[in-house]
Amino acid sequence: MPRFEYKAIDSNGKEVTSFIEAANTQEAISRIKEKGYYVLNLEEIEAEAYKITTPAEERAPFPKRRGLNKEISIPFLGIGTVKTQDLAVFTRQLATMINAGLPLVRSLNVLHEQLKAGPLKDIIKSLSDEVTSGGTLSDALSKHPKVFSPLYINMIKAGESGGVLEIVLERLAGFIEKNLEIIRRIKSALTYPALVVIFAAGVLVFMVGYLIPKFINLYESLGVGELPAITQMVLGFSKIFQDRWYVGLGFI
């Protein structure tokens, strides 16, 4: 029978780490909930990663793991702003905890405790206080319009009304993650053209500022007569660039 390692929180709010055997992930979660625990993290340990003779509360070092991985953690945030990536992680982790049976207030408190000092930590504390005092999560979110969009707030409100808050949170997290992936692809697609433009501008500056003046001196030393109009325009632009380089850069 598959063996799972889990991390949970008991009724007193204390973190518990232990092992359990179950036929599948859902059965493992159900059996852990029967103990009065709220699941934070659940991982299946492959059979070859531990010995049968190993005590129930011990396992071989460096076991191979696979399956459900729901470690509750949020990366450090930049001061003064809440990044879209951090909002996506917060939404995904909140959905995971609620889906595991953890109450909303307790879920917010756990996320708040694990965050380092930053704007999102303060916002989560505000959300927790608002919900604890009897307010709804959507009302609490609406007090932070610069972080949570109207779409985000309205979807949370619909999830609360329909009793499917964890499902709505998962869909919101997926929506934000897809937007981030689109932005990443756009940036990646624009990188090469931007490099080409920068390289071309550098070559043009080199020609106008260094190479063409050499031809001017050459023409003057050879006593060449009247040059074609386009050649005179190029040489004139080169002189402007040398005398007033900032004007030349404006043309480029």
What are the pLDDT tens digits along the chain (252 aa)? 788 888 877 766 677 888 888 888 878 888 888 887 777 777 887 654 444 333 443 343 434 444 433 333 333 333 347 788 888 888 988 988 888 888 899 989 988 888 887 888 889 898 999 889 888 999 999 988 888 888 899 999 998 888 888 899 999 988 888 888 888 888 888 888 888 888 888 887 777 777 777 777 776 677 666 667 777 777 777 777 776 665 555 555
Q: Which residues contact 158 (CB under 8 A, 6 or more apart)?
A: 168
Q: Provide the 3-class DSSP secondary structure of residue 9.
A: strand
Q: Is the dihedral of CA 59, 60, 61, 62 positive or negative?
A: negative
Scored b (16 or more CB within 10 A) or e, 213-229 reads beeeeeeeeeeeeeeee
Tell whether pTM > 0.85: no
* Cβ 79 vs Cβ 118: under 8 Å: yes
What are the residue ranges spanned by the domains of the chain? 3-66, 84-184, 190-251
Distances (CA, A) of 204 to 190, 193, 228: 21, 16, 21
Angstrom distance (rounded) from CA 165 to CA 138? 11
Please report which helix (H) or strand (E) contains residue 40, including its range: strand 38-45
Q: What is the CATH code of the structural domain delimited by 84-184? A: 1.20.81.30
